[in-house]
A and B are shown apart, each in its own frame.
Chain A
Amino acid sequence: MLYFSELQNSKVRTKDGIFVGKLKDVIFRASDSPAVTKIVIKTETDPETIVPIDNVAKINGGVVLEKSYVLSKLKENELFLTKNLLDNQIIDISGDKIVRVNDVAIQDKPGYSIAGVDIGLIGILRWFGLEDKINKLFKKVGITIRSRFLSWADIQTLELSRGHVKIKKEQTKLEKIRPEDLADYLEETTVANVKGILKILDKKNAAEVISNLNHSYQTALFKQFESDQAAKTIALMDPEESVDVLLGLSKKKREKILDLLDDATYKKIMYLLHQPDTPIGKILTTEFLTVEPDQTVKEVKEKIRTQTNDFYNLSYVYVVNRDQQLVGVFDLHEFLLHHQDAQVYKFMTQRLVTIHLNTPMTVALRKIVKYKLYALPVVDSDKHILGLVIYDDIVDLHLKGDE
């Protein structure tokens, strides 16, 4: 996740390193799924050059454009982040002013979207680059300044296009969220957003969208679905994907859904479910490192130094919240890119690819290949991390199975 305060005025270059200008603004779609559609660049010749997000290769740590980027214009139903959202007044249902939008959080992995708005003091301090210093200062006196975050799901999008930032709940219910809980919270609300999109899409597209979601979103979604809706979706999905989803559900719900499937799909899925498979548990390794979201790069480095010297390999560091649930991950390359005072929650990926102990080996193999990962975390139904399966072991096992 990235904050707009960290993004604004960052230099924009093309892939061959030609300086284009500075990032001025971001354009997003005013809908329940606020996808970032375009960026606005201030160049020497044009103060408002608009480039579609498809032409943007990377935004984190300096914006990089594709070599041949095209220019675009503002479309209907699109809004400027600075003009229509940032610094605007937030009012609650009863029309009371609460606070202003101090900063905007952007989901910074491809499929960029607006995650929510920061309405706390930290949001103001971040503009001056003071959030870490002040926080440290306050921590010495025993006070933690909590970031106050309002997720997109709480904002009335319709009102936004009319120039108001209006929230859906009462002021008193506004939650104060710590960074480590923030990650969790985002996932929940994104599920709500995903449900919103699914309503608009036709069924086939919807199933495709679901297939492309990571496992925790999928499971969360299916938990919300009625059984017949779930069965219809399963029928449209890739059988291997759907098996994994089904395994994430309770046995009762799983059987209910299976009963509702048509014959062909049922047979395929039952075949996969009952394949004499080597259990994941056999190749599970417990050589993994977990850190907390508010730990700094410096602290993580120390942890790596002291706790992983007997590890066979370390490619990823996993992030868990206070309840030890898996909330994020980052690889060592990403980790090395950040300043030593940067906190983990700011650069970790929340799009997790996970498997369960009862996930069929074929599904695990597919996932590891599809997402080009070196290791997959194995979690239980409560999202606690149990261990890892490593690429080498899966491939080994797979080859043996073929013999």
Chain B
Amino acid sequence: MSNFRSFFQKWKHRLFIFFLVLGPGLITAIADNDAGGVATYTVAAATFGMASQLFIVPTILLLGITLDVGARIAVVTRKGLGDLIREQYGIKISLLIFLLYFIVNQGVVLQNISGLKASFQLFDLPWAILLTATCLLLILFVINFSYARIQRVFLILVFFYFSYVLAAKLTNPHMGTLVKETLIPNVKNFGLNYWFTLIAVLGTTITAWGQFFVNSYVNDKKLSMEQLKYERAEVYFGALVTGFFSYMITIAVASTLFTNHITVSNGQQAALALRPLAGPLASALFASGLFGASLLGLTIVPLATAYVFSELFGYEGSLDTNFKKGRLFYTFFSTQIFIALIIALIPSVSLFSLTLYVDYLNGALLPVIFYFLIRFAEDKELMGKYVLKGFPRLFLRTAAVIILIAVVLSFIGKIFGLG
């Protein structure tokens, strides 16, 4: 045990120094694997095993490219995506985007709060009290703490994802076989449903709020032009780490549930099903992973809403402001959490069907956001010498087209009950 502790302490220390330099890209990318993401990976892995990660490399690339462009626009223009939309497209478009965005994010917050609820239930804890207490603490914490301190807590939450790594390790995987299974899928046995699942896995990683959040968050960190190169590297690093975690989740599930032909419909069921197969430790690790992912999502997504509100309507919106100055910023943050909390406390509401609609809306919003992203990144007046051209431009446009196709396909898939 002391061995374990010293090992943990040492790593914690190293990573702390490491993370003090890192930030926006990593946090945004990883938070894309929130409760909804974890659920999607789990369900996909239980149904199709390692083959559900066939698109892992393009997914990491796509996530990296899109977040990179966002970070670049933020550092160069010193404005968030919301600022730019308001200034270039006026109040009418801004209000429309905000309404859609608010609803989508509210859904995502709901997904995360139900993830949190599930993780409390898995540990047999009094979830109603804990859920309320967690939400209240979260709000107090975000209002009172500065950017630097809040980011540190985000980074601690990232550690919860390592429980998936440990869970994967417990299953004693053989890496060579796994990689082979991933890249050469046994397609013949799967059929159409398989391809739709792949698209769902890709789609869950790239989110509407993530695109806004990376802009705002990079801005709030007040990075300089010299740090741009570094920030871009950090974004890709974040995408890589995100891919790594989703791969670990898949390993843990594939080598247990998939090999035993147990299909599940959400993360909570997966953790329960793991108990007889991989022992209570694996199940607990899964539950704590879900806890971390949910908590991270529950903090970051309402924050993403508050940032965009402040940007579109011009109010002070920074984690470094006090409550008096950033009243509206913090109000929007708290409102989304409260709404979600109230819904989650009603036992009869089926969160599962609600979150399905959220995915639809998120998909509908994504192409719109990519349109703006491309327009701003290629605007010479805004970007000056950092304007997107040549290969990167082609990359982003291709990425947008791929995401658009994925969105449309998953729509069709959902209508026909596939994926």
Check: B14 CB closer than 8 A to any chain A CB: no
What 1/0 flags go to A104-135 for Cβ under 8 Å of B? Answer: 00000000000000000000100110000000
Q: Which residue of B lies closest to A90 (CB)?
A: B314
Check: B315 CB closer than 8 A to any chain A CB: yes
Task: State whether A127 and B314 are in contact (beta carbons under 8 Å apart), knowing that A87-B86, A100-B86 are contacts in the complex.
Answer: no
Check: A354 CB closer than 8 A to any chain B CB: no
Check: A97 CB closer than 8 A to any chain B CB: yes
Q: Are B91 and A127 in contact (CB under 8 A)?
A: yes
Within 8 A of A (CB), among B77-99: 83, 86-87, 90-92, 94-95
| Shortest CB distance A12–B (Å) | 20
Check: A156 CB closer than 8 A to any chain B CB: no
Q: Which of A87, A88, A97, A128 contacts B310 (CB 8 A)?
A: A97
Q: Are B92 and A97 in contact (CB under 8 A)?
A: no
| Shortest CB distance A22–B (Å) | 15
What 1/0 flags go to B309-338 for Cβ under 8 Å of A? Answer: 010111111000000010000000000000
Distance A317 CA – B90 CA, assembled complex (angstroms): 37
Q: Are B316 and A87 in contact (CB under 8 A)?
A: no
Q: Which of A86, A90, A97 has the most CB of B within 10 A?
A: A97
Distance A179 CA – B313 CA, assembled complex (angstroms): 23
Check: A96 CB closer than 8 A to any chain B CB: yes
The number of chain A residues touching the other chain, given as a range, is: 10 to 19
Distance A97 CA – B91 CA, assembled complex (angstroms): 17
Q: Which residue of A lies closest to B86 (CB)?
A: A87
Q: Which of A96, A124, A127 contacts B316 (CB 8 A)?
A: A96
Check: A31 CB closer than 8 A to any chain B CB: no
| Shortest CB distance A117–B (Å) | 11
Q: Which residue of A lies closest to B312 (CB)?
A: A100
| Shortest CB distance B323–A (Å) | 14
Task: State whether A98 and B315 are in contact (beta carbons under 8 Å apart), knowing that A89-B83, A124-B95 are contacts in the complex.
Answer: yes
Main secondary structure of the interface of A (DSSP, over half): mixed
Q: Are B314 and A96 in contact (CB under 8 A)?
A: no
Task: State whether A87 and B325 are in contact (beta carbons under 8 Å apart), knowing that A97-B315, A99-B315 are contacts in the complex.
Answer: no
Q: Are B87 and A99 in contact (CB under 8 A)?
A: no
Q: Are A98 and B90 in contact (CB under 8 A)?
A: no
Q: Are A99 and B92 in contact (CB under 8 A)?
A: no
| Shortest CB distance B70–A (Å) | 20
A96: chain B residues at CB < 8 Å are: 316, 325
Distance A178 CA – B310 CA, assembled complex (angstroms): 25
Distance A4 CA – B331 CA, assembled complex (angstroms): 31
Check: A242 CB closer than 8 A to any chain B CB: no
A82: chain B residues at CB < 8 Å are: 90
Q: Which of A88, A89, A98 has the most CB of B within 10 A?
A: A89
Q: Which of A87, A88, A97, A102 contacts B317 (CB 8 A)?
A: A97
B95: chain A residues at CB < 8 Å are: 124
Q: Which residue of B lies closest to A100 (CB)?
A: B314
Q: Are B90 and A87 in contact (CB under 8 A)?
A: yes
Main secondary structure of the interface of B (DSSP, over half): helix
Within 8 A of B (CB), among A283-313: none
Q: Which residue of B lies closest to A96 (CB)?
A: B316
Distance A87 CA – B94 CA, assembled complex (angstroms): 10
What 1/0 flags go to B5-43 for Cβ under 8 Å of A? Answer: 000000000000000000000000000000000000000
Q: Which residue of B lies closest to A171 (CB)?
A: B325
| Shortest CB distance A155–B (Å) | 15
Q: Are A124 and B91 in contact (CB under 8 A)?
A: yes
Q: Are A98 and B92 in contact (CB under 8 A)?
A: no
Q: Which residue of B lies closest to A102 (CB)?
A: B91
B94: chain A residues at CB < 8 Å are: 87
Q: Which of A100, A127, A128 contacts B313 (CB 8 A)?
A: A100
Q: Which residue of A lies closest to B321 (CB)?
A: A96
Q: Which residue of A lies closest to B87 (CB)?
A: A87
B92: chain A residues at CB < 8 Å are: 127-128
Q: Are A86 and B315 in contact (CB under 8 A)?
A: no
| Shortest CB distance B4–A (Å) | 48
| Shortest CB distance B326–A (Å) | 9
Q: Which residue of B lies closest to A103 (CB)?
A: B91
Q: Which residue of B lies closest to A94 (CB)?
A: B325
Task: State whether A99 and B90 are in contact (beta carbons under 8 Å apart), knowing that A89-B83, A124-B95 are contacts in the complex.
Answer: no
| Shortest CB distance A264–B (Å) | 57
Q: Which residue of A lies closest to B90 (CB)?
A: A87
Task: State whether A86 and B90 are in contact (beta carbons under 8 Å apart), knowing that A96-B325, A124-B95 are contacts in the complex.
Answer: yes
Within 8 A of A (CB), among B100-126: none
| Shortest CB distance A402–B (Å) | 61
Within 8 A of A (CB), among B260-315: 310, 312-315
| Shortest CB distance B350–A (Å) | 35
Q: Which of B92, B313, B314 has the most CB of A within 10 A?
A: B314
Q: Which of B87, B91, B310, B317 has the most CB of A within 10 A?
A: B91
Distance A23 CA – B312 CA, assembled complex (angstroms): 25
A102: chain B residues at CB < 8 Å are: 91
| Shortest CB distance A337–B (Å) | 27
Distance A98 CA – B315 CA, assembled complex (angstroms): 5
A124: chain B residues at CB < 8 Å are: 91, 95
Distance A167 CA – B6 CA, assembled complex (angstroms): 56
Distance A99 CA – B87 CA, assembled complex (angstroms): 13
Distance A100 CA – B83 CA, assembled complex (angstroms): 10
What 1/0 flags go to A72-92 for Cβ under 8 Å of B? Answer: 000000000010001111100
Q: Which of B86, B87, B314 contacts A98 (CB 8 A)?
A: B314
Q: Which residue of B lies closest to A83 (CB)?
A: B87
Q: Are A99 and B91 in contact (CB under 8 A)?
A: no
Distance A128 CA – B90 CA, assembled complex (angstroms): 12
| Shortest CB distance A42–B (Å) | 14
Distance A350 CA – B361 CA, assembled complex (angstroms): 50
Distance A88 CA – B91 CA, assembled complex (angstroms): 11
Q: Which of A86, A87, A102 has the most CB of B within 10 A?
A: A87
Distance A100 CA – B94 CA, assembled complex (angstroms): 12
Q: Which residue of B lies closest to A89 (CB)?
A: B314
| Shortest CB distance B415–A (Å) | 33
A128: chain B residues at CB < 8 Å are: 92
Given contacts A88-B87, A127-B90, 10 further A-B contacts (CB under 8 A): A87-B86, A89-B83, A89-B87, A89-B314, A97-B310, A98-B316, A100-B312, A102-B91, A127-B91, A127-B92
Show 14 residue pairs from A and B whose CB-CB distance is below 8 angstroms, ordered by the A residue. A82-B90, A86-B90, A87-B87, A87-B90, A89-B87, A97-B310, A97-B314, A97-B316, A98-B315, A98-B316, A99-B313, A99-B314, A124-B95, A127-B92
* Chain A interface residues toward B at CB < 8 A: 82, 86-90, 96-100, 102, 124, 127-128
* Chain B interface residues toward A at CB < 8 A: 83, 86-87, 90-92, 94-95, 310, 312-317, 325
Considering the complex of A and B, which 9 residue pairs feature the smallest CB-CB distances, nearest first?
A: A100-B314, A99-B314, A97-B316, A89-B314, A127-B91, A87-B86, A87-B87, A96-B316, A87-B90
